[in-house]
Amino acid sequence: MEKSRTKKIRSFIELILSALSPKARGINLAYAYLYGITCHFMFTIAVIAMIYHMFYGMQESYGNLEGALAIMANGALILQFPLAHSFLLSQRGQKILSLLGPKDLAISLSTTSFTIVASIQLFALFMLWSPSKIVFELPFEFLIYILPILYCLSWFLLIVATIDAGLEVQSGALGWISVLARKKPKFPELPTTGLYRVIRHPIYASFFLAVLTVPTWSADQFVVSLILGAYCIFAPILKDRRLIDRHGEKYLRYKNTTPYMLPSKRIK
């Protein structure tokens, strides 16, 4: 394991442990713990739901609509995530996030609020989907054994990429723990080590691999993989723009020397 990755894990553990000795008091303390518990609970069940339901090709979800109603409901579920997710990452979206909480704490809690909203979106998508029951047979028998392995490896890569990006932001912990510490949230530096040394957007790339390597393919999973896969390919273009605005010349230098999503090909 790279030293920088080990250091990031150690720093995240220290951040979490700091929650055991908070400096906040009274209502601020209560709000911080409420947001923190809600954030990590929703994040956990959303990730579990996502991994489980894609593994089974979206055939185990709990929606029970049929026909045109199912198509419309599923369409709304699959589109709400990329649209709202991208919007909340924009400047206008950030302003809305800064309103989702107590007036004096909302800005500090914005990263936690974002994770809560994204987790609710994912949970709704994967739990409320109405299955079509149209399941495709895999063309080759060996895929029955290979795809589950590739699927697990894709999620492992996603975990590694998340660590490299900064667990405190990706998990939503930065916001509520900053409130506990009565400090302004301190965002991690621009990630350029680990998987970020190889490509600029390893989180999107890893999730793209996950939606392509699901062990069970159905009509439902085809739609989910198509929409979320396309989002993984094109959303980083917007992220590049945000990072240029935030980091300026430093990110431009990184962008010019590091490929987009494929180590052997650059999309600038």
| 97: pLDDT strictly greater than 90 | no
| Single-letter amino acid, residue 44 | T
Q: pLDDT tens, 166-206?
A: 999 999 999 999 999 998 888 888 999 999 999 999 999 99
Is residue 35 within 8 Å of residue 176, measured between CB atoms?
A: yes
What pLDDT shows up at residue 188? 84
The predicted model scores a pTM of: 0.91
pLDDT tens digit string along 202-255? 999 999 999 999 999 999 999 999 999 999 999 999 999 999 998 999 999 999
- Angle, to 10 degrees, between the axis of helix 67-89 and the axis of helix 110-128? 160
Torsion sign, CA atoms 194, 200, 201, 202: negative
User: For residue 267, is pLDDT > 70?
Assistant: no
- Angle formed by the axes of helices 26-55 and 110-128, nearest 10°: 30
| pLDDT interval class at 94 (50, 70, 90) | confident
Residue reference for tokens 């950030």: 94
131 by DSSP, 3-state: which?
A: coil
The whole-angstrom separation of Cα 201 and Cα 15 is: 25
Q: pLDDT above 90 covers what percent of the chain?
A: 79
Q: Where are the domains of the chain?
A: 3-257
Beta bridge partners of 218: 135
**C-alpha distances in Å from residue 132, one per residue of 39, 57, 64, 219, 220:** 31, 10, 10, 7, 6
Dihedral class, residue 172 (left if φ above 0, else alpha if ψ from -120 to 50, else beta)? left
CA distance 16 to 107: 20
